[in-house]
Chains A and B, each alone.
Chain A
Amino acid sequence: MAEILTKSRARNIFYGGSIFFVVVFVGMTVHSHRYVVQTSTAGMPLSEEVRHGKHVWEEHSCINCHSLHGEGAYFAPELGNVTTRWGVQDSPDDAFWMLKGWIESQPSGLEGRRQMPRYELTDEDIRALSEFLRWADQTDTQGWPPNDAG
């Protein structure tokens, strides 16, 4: 490296530049935070039920088999758009009954097929979960996923 770039210059560029990028990033984060609350997830209220559903989702670590908006594990189907795939996005009752039917028929026990464990959930929990999934599905995700297969 040329002599113009001395060690102390390199160090100063590192510190100065990093501070600059941190500041820009924080600014964009603040803007994005507002955008999420006011625009991209504003289509449906973040109700008590949805919040509870998120906790049920976390308590059972669904994310370590499934993906949600494309993040998580790759062992089981994408769930960010599952209510669309099931055609129940606009109907809380249908979403609840579909999900209840699904959860209560697990594990399938089919030989050679990936198994989803059986979770003993109350109707209230299932209802919360289906609302959480409907809520996730209404998020404006810039058109992702490309199709209903997820």
Chain B
Amino acid sequence: MKYQSQKVAYWYILAALALFGIQVAGGLLAGWVYVSPNFLSELLPFNVIRMIHTNALIVWLLLGFFAAAYFLVPEEAEREIWSPKLAYLQLVILLVGTLGAVGSYLVGIHGGREFLEQPLWVKFGILVAALIFLLNVSMTVLSGKRTAITNVLLMGLWLLSLLWVFAFINPDNLSLDKMYWWFVVHLWVEATWELVMAAILAFLLLKLTGVDREVVEKWLYVIVATALFSGILGTGHHFYWIGLPGYWQWVGSIFSTFEVIPFFLMMSFAFVMVWKGRKTHPNKAALLWSLGSSTVAFFGAGVWGFLHTLHGVNFYSHGTQITAAHGHLAFYGAYVALNLAVFSYAMPMLRQREPYNQVLNMASFWLMTGGMAFMTFVLTFAGTIQTHMQRVVGDYYMDVQDSLSVFYLMRFGAGAAVVIGALLFIYSMLVVRRKEVITPGPANPVPGE
């Protein structure tokens, strides 16, 4: 830790980890209701569990991005954060909002647009917190050194905050509601968040591999260019069947196919940098998470996204378990694993220690990644059968679901592995064990050529 104010990130990470725990516990519970539908059905209906699961996910990922920004902006700008006080105030607002949202869901007060169910006052709280954040990091960057990494990071964060305005725009016309809803949902994960992801990945690779900054930054601009060129019009892949004009079928199919490119580039970027790198950084866990994130993102977003993005396919698969399979692997690879990479990298420094518990941390990577991959496979099988029986043959929804129960049972098992992995990760971050549980293998003997 070069700058005192980076410490702010520590508290953001703690809050994010707590919510991560709640998110996966909620997911596991929702997965159990699929297996045993009468469970808690009167006390805590499925829709409430699901809201907690998805909202906790979004909020902790955002907290993680804020943590990453507060950690890396001082290093890049070479100065302290403009106002650590404001950063703590922002965190308090976000936590009050989060607790308020969860509490009000539990007593049945919520909005009704998927992912955006937060009560209005919480939405405003998020807006205020975002504005405080933007002010704070922008002032830090403006008065310090500017780099491509902070440029892209800030641009992503400004744009995603701007898009939050559409969370307040809810037309009475359902088709318009849906169209503007995607301005938040799609243009977050497939445009602005990609900017944030690419910038954070560039920072991590710069630090972990020691590759020349010029090279890293050129890659960065190419990646984010392909992300926005494809992702903006790629929004059309959600406009096929919700009452919008037919031309979106072609525009959406073509441009969203190009959305695979930035994810392919990010994966290539990560591996090429590691091969070129001359440094062997002691934090192997952070490197594993960085490589893992870009790889799983390529499969989850790129491959599983492409799987159902052409309108001829989507006509049959739209809104089935295929969508759930893709949503899980994409979110996990691109944003969950990336955040865990940042936490793995930053936590030892924030606590001013050597990287420790590397073996546990890496074990948690394989457990979580294996669990999410297995979950994706079983949901893909379930979705394929569902698509055939329901959309092609025309069998009734509930009857089809009855024949999928074995997949839901396996999804629950996969979920249990993910939860154990998550707990292991949190343990490896928070609990100090100076000795590794087993002796790690040798560090890469010959880096580079």
A84 within 8 A of B: no
Query: Shortest CB–CB separation between residue A41 and chain B, in angstroms?
Result: 5
CA A112 to CA B34, docked complex, whole Å = 10
The answer to whether B88 has its CB under 8 Å from any CB of chain A is no
Do the beta carbons of B225 and A59 come within 8 Å of each other? no
B143 to chain A: which residues have CB within 8 Å? none
Q: Are A60 and B321 in contact (CB under 8 A)?
A: no
A64 touching B47, Cβ below 8 Å:
yes
Q: How distant is B269 from chain A, measured CB to nearest CB, in Å?
A: 11
> Known contacts A21-B233, A46-B173, A147-B394; is A69 also within 8 Å of B47 by CB?
no
Q: Are A65 and B47 in contact (CB under 8 A)?
A: yes
Q: Are B319 and A67 in contact (CB under 8 A)?
A: yes
Checking B177, B214, B229, B395 against A17 with a beta-carbon cut-off of 8 angstroms, the contacting residue is: B229
Pick from A10, A60, A65: contact of B46, CB under 8 Å: A65
**Does A99 interact with chain B (Cβ within 8 Å)?**
no
Which residues in window 381-430 of B have CB below 8 A to A? 390-392, 394-398, 401
Could you tell me the distance between the alpha carbons of A112 and B39 in the complex, rounded to whole angstroms? 9
Asked if A40 meets B175 with Cβ closer than 8 Å, knowing A63-B113, A78-B319, A144-B240, the reply is yes
Query: Are A21 and B229 in contact (CB-based, < 8 A)?
Result: yes
Q: Which residues of B contact A87 (CB under 8 A)?
A: none
Whether B319 pairs with A28 at a CB distance below 8 angstroms is no
Interface contact A36-B214, CB-CB below 8 Å: no
Q: Which residues of B contact A65 (CB under 8 A)?
A: 45-47, 50
Are A73 and B47 within 8 A (Cβ)? yes
**B98-150 at interface with A (beta carbon < 8 Å):** 110-114, 117, 148
Is B51 among interface residues, defined by CB-CB distance under 8 A?
A: yes
Choose from B114, B176, B222, B248 the contact partner of A1 (Cβ within 8 Å).
B222
Give min CB distance, A105 to chain B, whole Å: 15
CB pair A18–B225 under 8 Å, yes or no, is yes
- Beyond A25-B233, A69-B241, whether A114 also contacts B117 by CB under 8 A is no
Residue of A nearest to B41 (CB): A115
B244 on interface, CB distance cutoff 8 Å: yes
Asked if B3 is an interface residue, CB under 8 A from chain A, the answer is no
Distance (Å) between the CB of B113 and the closest chain A CB?
A: 7
Interface size class of B (residues with CB under 8 A): 35 or more
B174 contact from A77, A135, A143, Cβ within 8 A:
A135
Residue of B112, B179, B244 near A61 (CB, 8 A) is B112
CB of A39 to closest CB in B, whole Å: 8
A107 within 8 A of B: yes
B243 interfacial by beta-carbon distance below 8 Å: yes
Q: State whether A139 touches B47 (Cβ < 8 A).
A: no
Interchain CB contact under 8 A, A61 and B117: yes
User: Contact string, A77-95, partner B, CB cutoff 8 A, digits 1/0?
Assistant: 1100000000000000000
The answer to the question of A126 belonging to the interface, with a C-beta cut-off of 8 Å to chain B, is no
With a 10 A CB-CB cut-off, give which of B221, B222, B395 has the most chain A CB atoms: B221
Q: B217's contact among A7, A31, A73, A145, by CB below 8 Å, is which?
A: A7
Is B218 an interface residue when CB atoms closer than 8 A count as contact? yes
Whether the Cβ atoms of B245 and A149 lie closer than 8 Å is: no
Residue on B with the closest CB to A69?
A: B242
CA distance A25 to B238 in the complex (A): 14
A62 with B243: CB separation less than 8 A: no
B449 within 8 A of A: no
Q: Does B444 contact A (CB under 8 A)?
A: no
Give bound CA distance, A135 to B177, whole Å.
Answer: 14
14 additional contacts, CB 8 Å, given A64-B51, A73-B46? A32-B244, A35-B244, A36-B176, A51-B172, A54-B172, A58-B111, A64-B47, A67-B319, A70-B318, A73-B47, A74-B323, A139-B243, A144-B315, A146-B391
Q: Which 5 A-B pairs have the closest CB atoms?
A: A58-B112, A70-B319, A64-B47, A144-B241, A10-B221
| Chain A to chain B contacts (Cβ below 8 Å), 10 pairs | A14-B221, A29-B179, A36-B175, A50-B172, A60-B112, A62-B47, A65-B45, A72-B114, A142-B241, A146-B391
- Residues of A at the B interface (CB closer than 8 Å) are 1, 5-7, 10-11, 13-14, 17-18, 21-22, 24-25, 28-29, 31-33, 35-37, 40-41, 46, 50-51, 54, 57-65, 67-78, 107, 111-115, 117, 132, 135-136, 139-150
